[in-house]
Amino acid sequence: MSLTKRALAELIGTFWLVLGGCGSATLAAGFMAPIDGSPVHIGIGLLGVGLAFGLTVLTMVYAIGHISGAHLNPAVTMGLVVGGRFPAGDASMYIIF
């Protein structure tokens, strides 16, 4: 598979991770909503954020893992380069995307 297609897959995966994971973290702050005149906490909490991050990574591993390896994080790419399991020439595109 070409480097461009793999880098584009990483871009899509990273977008999905930020949208799902960080988007859920904004909901974890909790909001007060008046229901029947009494305030109710409707945030998803720490468990919800953990599940959101885990499920977004899981969906991207299944969706793009066969294309790019689903690194989704520049630290993962750098760790693989240092460990000799990923070509250093391809790392810059993965990190940029």
pLDDT(95) > 80: yes
Whether pLDDT at 38 is above 80: no
d(CA 97, CA 93): 6
Using one digit for the tens of pLDDT, what is the confidence trace for 43-76? 788 888 899 999 999 999 999 999 999 999 999 9
84: left (phi over 0), alpha (psi -120 to 50) or beta: left
**E strands, 23-90, in order:** 32-35, 38-41
Look up the CATH number of the domain holding residue 13: 1.20.1080.10
**Count of domains in the chain?**
1
Q: Please give the model's pTM, rounded to 2 decimal places.
A: 0.81
Domain of 59? 3-96
Q: Which residue has the higher pLDDT, 58 or 38?
A: 58
